[in-house]
Chains A and B, each alone.
Chain A
Amino acid sequence: MTGWRAGIAATCLALALWQMVIWITGVARFILPPPALVAQTMWDSRALLAEHAVITMTEVLIGLALGAALGFVSAIALVAWPTARALVRPILVFSQAVPVFALAPILTLWLGFGLWSKITMALIIIYFPVTSSFFDALMRTNRDWIGLAKVMGASPARIMWHIRVPAALPGFASGLRLAAVYAPIGAIIGEWVGASKGLGYLMLLANGRAKTDLMFAALIVLAVLTILLHATVNTLCERTLDRSDVS
């Protein structure tokens, strides 16, 4: 409850500051629209915003699901096959040095203006955090658990499935939490580079027509959706994957 109250208080403070900046500087409304105008625009354009928000969230959710699934499987494969680890890990690390933004035009070229170039962008951006946090957790499995399992006659595959994976789920959960924040960034970048739908597209469109109020409205919708997504993923993780008693 205190978390909610603090959130509301912080929002009110931000709105007050925003309004004050406008009063003090007298900045033009096409540079910084006042909060009341943005609120008005949000209400007036609610159908338009909702339509584009649905597109963006579809990209984000599909990207998140695919990225999580792919990260889950790759981390297990990397742990299970040391050769794969030796070959793939340097590539993974190197890939982090490439600014993913630079890939967006290429993805648009290859996958077109539709959903898939954005889904892929979101997927690429979240793949590394999910894979590496799950991988690290899998590598940290208590050696004594593994020893006991071997003495009991377990195969490596069963040790993986019954011991290492369940023991590493909290690590997977922390990867997912990061992914929930990164996935919308991926989708928006994809939309900026080339799209005919989505909140990112709407922001560019509004910007081009000097409709700064609409741009702010789209931005706020995006921020709220990202926060909601993060909170949902967080709650799901707490209910299913987290354990306070991991030794």
Chain B
Amino acid sequence: MNQPLRMTGSATIDGTAIFSQLDLTLTPQSWTCLLGASGVGKSTVLRLFAGLAEGVTFTGDLSDPGRVAMMAQQDLLLPWLNVLDNVLIGARLRGDRLDKDRARDRLAQVGLADHADKLPAALSGGQRQRVALARTLMEDRAVVLLDEPFSALDALTRAQMQELTADLLSGRTVLLVTHDPSEAARLGQTILIMTPSGLVDVTAPTTSIPRDISAPDVLRAQTDLFDQLRRPV
């Protein structure tokens, strides 16, 4: 996937405009963070890329990202399957061969090698989200869509998950929707704020990700973002 992914156009649901004249480009193999007020249409953008926007009418141009991987705020683990089978669910749903060794490798990457046989109910929220990350990695897609994947986690677990995810998804085209300016400053190689009148490009630090929370450029980007988000539109 070396073509930039682009979405230009407007979306409505039942005749109500969700966003109009949006022009969004995702740089290949880099992280784009999308922020913005609640209800402005961030998840809708993500669902349009994923081909899941039932009920949304989109007029404009939308490049086809091919098959994508997706991870959201809820881990969406199936409670009746153990951790390993949850990681393998994509293959099972497509009728592909079940590559258990690779699934175990993915679990090891997220530090859950010893939990393969447990049910999701036996894990903590942070561990469950790591299983969701292993499931996302298992899909092995060039484009990965993340919708507030860490927002339900405590601060420490969230920081760890940000680092783990940035490491494991490096080299992929990632769209991360988030409400957290600090998260965007740590992970965004492009940082965009979505407003009803279009996208606002915020200067992102140029260092490699995941960035140190306390690095001066990260703190500056975070402050900038706060100001931008507070600015009335």
Q: Which A positions have Cβ atoms within 8 angstroms of B?
A: 142, 144-145, 147-154, 158-159, 162-163, 166-167, 243, 245-247
Contact = CB atoms under 8 A, between A and B. Distances in A.
B139 A152 contact: yes
Contacts of B112: none
Which of A152, A153, A243 has the most B CB atoms < 10 Å from its CB? Answer: A152
B79 A247 contact: yes
Which of A153, A159, A166 has the most B CB atoms < 10 Å from its CB? Answer: A153
A50 B139 CA distance: 60
Interface residues of B, number: 24
Contact of A151 (B70, B92, B121): B70
Contacts of A246: 79
Nearest to A159: B93
B113 interface: no
Identify the 9 closest CB pairs spanning chains A and B, nearest first. A154-B93, A245-B121, A152-B90, A245-B79, A147-B52, A151-B70, A153-B94, A158-B93, A151-B50
B68 A151 contact: yes
B79 A151 contact: no
Contacts of A162: 89, 92-93
B72 A144 contact: yes
Given A151-B68, A153-B67, A243 B80 contact: yes
A144 B139 contact: no
B93 A144 contact: no
A243 B79 contact: yes
B78 A152 contact: no
A163 B78 contact: yes
A166 B78 contact: yes
Nearest to B47: A147
Contacts of A243: 79-80
A148 B93 CA distance: 10
Given A147-B52, A245-B119, A245-B121, A153 B93 contact: yes
B76 A144 contact: yes
Contact of B80 (A147, A150, A159, A166): A166
Given A148-B70, A163-B93, A246-B79, 5 more contacts: A151-B69, A152-B139, A153-B93, A243-B79, A245-B120
B57 interface: no
B4 interface: no
A151 B119 contact: no
Contacts of A245: 79, 119-121
A148 B92 CA distance: 13
A26 B42 CA distance: 81
Nearest to B70: A151
B222 to A, nearest CB: 30
Given A153-B67, A153-B93, A154-B93, A148 B51 contact: no
Nearest to B94: A153
B95 interface: yes
A74 B76 CA distance: 28
Nearest to A157: B95
